[in-house]
Amino acid sequence: MQRMTRQRAAVVDALTNVDEFRSAQQLHELLRAGGNSIGLATVYRTLQTLADGGELDVLRTQDGESLYRRCRRREHHHHLVCRQCSRTVEIDGPSVEAWASQVGADHGFTDIEHTVELFGTCEACRAGDTSR
Amino acid sequence: MQRMTRQRAAVVDALTNVDEFRSAQQLHELLRAGGNSIGLATVYRTLQTLADGGELDVLRTQDGESLYRRCRRREHHHHLVCRQCSRTVEIDGPSVEAWASQVGADHGFTDIEHTVELFGTCEACRAGDTSR
DNA sequence: GTTGGTATTGACATTCATTCTCACTAAGCG
DNA sequence: CGCTTAGTGAGAATGAATGTCAATACCAAC
């Protein structure tokens, strides 16, 4: 059975107030800064649970960190993420899905899963390039 | 300046004798088992160097481990990997490249990089399903 | 409103891949 | 053959993520 706790509510709330992909640690800090007392392990667990339930999208950065985000669209889609500020655009690859399973079948593979993510530098970050 | 050491040669050799994506640790064991004395840190460093030079393809598994493979084709391509035995097929996404940069441009993003990987279960692994 | 079973929490320890440190070794030029 | 310096390796360090387990607090039932 799933219980609604103060902590879980806080995590969900934080996620709805943020539009970019954020790491568990970042969210933990955010919550603490916002006056919420919550343990890091709890943040991890909650994100895990939400992600399993399809409430959240997970993304792994090039250096292996997991980033989480509550997406508008619940159906399967992909992301275009700014590698500096994490600004995110939801996109769909019209033919990607079909292509993926086709290629898989062609080579005798089943249960095809695919990972398609785009990274780039967004307009705002390109302008303020002097930072960092 | 780049020197050719016994260890570096051994790593390159091991990679040419393996057709699947392998982790640094697996390669380290392989080398040791093959009678090569080599440190784990060296394996990591060598793989890193080779990957930077485009000699190697790197892939991150869902649980964040890096896998390395020497691919036939040096041009940009993608992979279809068996999630059980790591058997790998090199594939190319004809329109993927174009689509990626188009989508990026549409949203004002530049320097678009894309990650496209397919995972599935290969024919052999589906047969011997009783394992694991 | 009170109670009780149990899902959930959190401080801390632990795991595990990867990177760092730094004294030591050896590649390879002259 | 010597010397410079890239490369090595054992062990320590890092850092994200997960496990532990006693204490806590949902919430359904009384």
Instruction: Note the pLDDT tens digit of each residue in B3-55.
Output: 999 999 999 999 999 999 999 999 999 999 999 999 999 999 999 999 999 99
* Closest-approach residue (CA) in chain B for A92: B103
Contact residues on chain B for A66, CB-CB shorter than 8 A: 64
In this predicted model, what pLDDT tens digit does every residue of A51-97 receive, in sequence order?
A: 999 999 999 988 889 999 999 998 899 999 998 899 999 998 778 88
CB proximity A105 to B under 8 Å: no
Q: Are B47 and B65 in contact (CB under 8 A)?
A: no
Q: Is the shortest CB-to-strand distance from A84 to strand D under 7 Å?
A: no
- The values of phi and psi at residue A30, to 5°, are -55, -45
Contacts of A93 in chain B (CB under 8 A): 99
Predicted confidence (pLDDT) per residue in A4-35, tens digit: 999 999 999 999 999 999 999 999 999 999 99
Query: What's the CA gap between A15 and A7, in Å, rounded?
Result: 12
Distance to chain B for A35, nearest Cα, Å: 32
Closest to B64 (Cβ–Cβ): which among A64, A112, A121? A64
Q: CB of B74 within 8 A of CB of B92?
A: no
Edge-first strand listing for the sheet containing A78-82: A88-91, A78-82, A110-121, B110-121, B78-82, B88-91
H/E stretch holding A16 reads helix A6-16
As given in the structure block, the two tokens for residue A126 are 């390109």
Residue nearest to nucleotide C12 (CA to C1'): A41
Nearest Cα neighbor of A25 from A62, A53, A64, A66 is A66
Q: Cβ–Cβ of B110/A126 closer than 8 Å? A: yes
B104 and A80: CB-CB below 8 Å?
yes
- CB atoms closer than 10 angstroms to residue A28: 22
pLDDT digits (tens, 9 = 90+) for B54-106: 999 999 988 889 999 999 998 899 999 998 899 999 998 778 889 999 999 99
Sheet strands (E) in B1-132: 22-23, 57-60, 66-69, 78-82, 88-91, 110-121
pLDDT at A129: 59
The neighbouring-strand residues paired with A22 are: A68
- Å: A41 CA to C13 C1': 13
CB contact under 8 A, A121 and B111: yes
